[in-house]
Amino acid sequence: MQVLIAEHSGFCEGVERAYQIALEQTNAGNPVFMLGNIVHNTQVVDKFIRAGAKVIKTLAEIPPNANGTLIISAHGVPPEIYTEAKAKGLGVIDTTCPWVKKAQKIAKELAEEGRFVIIVGDNGHPEVKSLIGWSGGKAVVVEKVEDIAKLSLPPGQKIGILAQTTQAENTFNTIVAAVKQLEKNVKEHNTICGATAKRQKAAVDLARKVNLILVIGDPMSANTKRLTELCNQTGTETHQIQTVEELDKQWLAGKDKVGITAGASTPEWIIKDVITRLEKL
């Protein structure tokens, strides 16, 4: 059995940057608070919790005079979080991915132009929540082209469209085209990050060359979910696993070429565990 690995997989630059910054802070021994998951991977988050970091859902969970450091995740946060953190006297370490920062700036600019802001993304995802915040709370989220019919667009309304950075190119382009059929004054910004596009293309290319492809990543990872969807669409048998323990030997029966790809939040040590197990089998 031959094991092939996608050209682009695992930690992207933004996640690697967030991981290293958070590692440095926790190793320093100071009180560290993480607002949400630093990245969408349970094993990575657990590693920081064991190192002493406290994961919180809201700043209200931080006791008064905590004198700690707030780490903002790679997904970004709405602008009011910075104000609240400052009011609490917290130090702020911002690990927001540069691509997300760019999308936040665009969301703000589109709203300031008086445009109806549409975010192509996953409703409820932390990054999408941050983009809504930077639009002044005015943006609406569209997950699929069918959602456009539910929008109440006044005639002649100016529209601005941007994407969650981990969306599939085809989904974004399809939704943009559908919106343009309704309104002429549409300003689009493809804010899908370069790493996402490379991973998606590499995963699809690999899926077409193998009998089975394993997508390694946490179920809460949006970009991993997208890789799984795209690999499935090639017709190649596809399974998403979070760790090596989920690998089923029965999937390998009669397979001579197995492909591996991994989401941008998946650490190298988990990918290596899967490869090692496959080699043994």
The H-or-E segment that residue 45 falls in is helix 42-50
- Judge whether 212 and 235 are in contact, CB under 8 Å: no
* Token duo for residue 114: 């008086």
- Judge whether 197 and 169 are in contact, CB under 8 Å: yes
Catalytic residue among 127, 146, 169, 268: 127
E strands along the chain, which residues?
2-5, 32-35, 54-56, 69-72, 91-94, 116-120, 140-142, 159-163, 186-189, 212-216, 237-241, 257-262
Name every residue whose Cβ is closer than 8 Å to that of residue 181 and which is 6 or more positions away in sequence. Answer: none
SS3 132: helix
* Token duo for residue 37: 């998951």
d(CA 70, CA 87): 12
Longest dimension (CA), the chain: 63
Q: How far apart are the first and last CA of the chain?
A: 9
Any catalytic annotation for residue 16? no
SS3 256: coil
Q: Which residues are catalytic, by number?
A: 127
